C-alpha cells in the first residue's frame, strides 16, 4: 500500500457561494479519501496573508487575500494513500481553461481568480497548511469499515 498522507483542501468562497461544497467534497469521498477534519471558516486577513505568504511579493497577492476573505470557505483535511497527488489531480490545473474535463476546475471553473479549490502541493506544505487551518484536536483518527474495500491490506 502507498504511503498514507493527510492534505488540506479548501473549497474557496466561490465554491461556497455557488453551493458546490457538497458536490466537491463528495468527489473525494467517492474516490475513497477519508475526511479527518472539516469546518466552515470566515477567514481573517492575518490567516489569509499567512496562508498566501509565498506570494506576498507578487502583484496578485492583495487580490488573493481580498478574495479568500470575501466570504466563508470550507477547510477539509483529507487522508489516504497518495492523498496529496490525488487531491491535486482531482482539482485540475490552476488555470481552469487548462483543467481536464472531469476535474473540479475542469467541470466547474472558468476564471483563474475564482478557481474553486486549493490543495497542498507537497508533504511539507500539507503539514504546514494543516497546522495553520486546524488545531491538533480538530484532526481525527478513526477506522472506516469500507477501508478494506478501498485500501490494499497492510503487508
- Which are the catalytic amino acids? 118
Single out the residue of 73, 80, 93 nearest to residue 30, CA to CA.
Answer: 80
At 145, phi and psi to the nearest 5? -60, -35
First to last CA, the chain: 8
Q: Do the beta carbons of residue 88 and residue 119 sit within 8 Å?
A: yes
| Distance, CA of 63 to CA of 71 (rounded, Å) | 14
| Distance, CA of 97 to CA of 4 (rounded, Å) | 31
Helix (H) or strand (E) holding 149: helix 147-150
Amino acid at each position: 500500500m502507498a504511503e498514507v498522507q493527510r492534505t488540506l483542501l479548501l473549497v474557496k468562497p466561490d465554491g461556497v457561494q455557488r453551493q458546490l461544497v457538497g458536490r466537491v467534497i463528495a468527489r473525494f469521498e467517492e474516490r475513497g479519501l477519508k475526511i479527518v477534519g472539516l469546518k466552515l471558516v470566515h477567514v481573517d486577513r492575518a490567516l489569509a496573508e499567512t496562508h498566501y505568504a509565498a506570494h506576498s511579493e507578487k502583484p496578485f497577492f492583495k487580490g488573493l487575500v481580498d478574495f479568500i476573505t470575501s466570504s466563508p470557505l470550507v477547510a477539509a483535511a483529507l487522508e489516504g494513500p497518495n492523498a496529496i497527488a490525488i487531491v491535486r489531480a482531482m482539482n485540475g490545473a490552476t488555470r481552469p481553461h487548462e483543467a481536464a474535463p472531469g476535474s473540479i476546475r475542469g467541470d466547474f471553473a472558468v476564471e483563474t481568480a475564482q478557481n474553486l479549490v486549493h490543495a497542498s502541493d507537497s508533504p511539507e506544505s500539507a503539514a504546514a497548511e494543516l497546522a495553520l487551518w486546524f488545531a491538533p484536536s480538530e484532526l481525527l483518527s478513526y477506522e472506516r469499515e469500507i477501508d478494506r474495500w478501498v485500501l490494499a491490506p497492510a503487508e
